[in-house]
């Protein structure tokens, strides 16, 4: 089993950063662990064919 850890750089605006810090403080986790938890619990939405962001 691999023990290599991957790094991820994330850019947040001040409001997003504040929300992340609040979630981390409430959960008692670090910011990186909070992000990992959010990723694990994320629900995927079907891709919208009309969505111009991914084109």
Q: pLDDT of the chain along its 55 residues, tens only?
A: 668 888 889 899 999 999 999 999 999 999 999 999 999 988 888 887 665 665 5
pLDDT at 38: 93
Question: What range defines the domain where residue 30 resides?
Answer: 13-40
Residue 33 forms part of a structural domain: yes
Cα 30 to Cα 1: distance, rounded to the nearest angstrom: 25
Exposed (0-12), middle (13-18) or buried (19+): which is 35, by Cβ within 10 Å?
Answer: middle
Residue 29 forms part of a structural domain: yes
Residue 54 forms part of a structural domain: no
Cα 9 to Cα 13: distance, rounded to the nearest angstrom: 13
Residue 20 forms part of a structural domain: yes
How many domains does the structure of the chain reveal? 1
Residue 23 forms part of a structural domain: yes
């Amino acid at each position: 089993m691999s023990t290599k850890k991957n790094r991820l750089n994330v850019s947040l605006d001040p409001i997003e950063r504040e929300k992340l810090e609040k979630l981390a403080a409430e959960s008692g986790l670090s910011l990186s662990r909070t992000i990992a938890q959010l990723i694990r619990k994320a629900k995927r939405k079907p891709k919208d064919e009309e969505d111009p962001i991914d084109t």
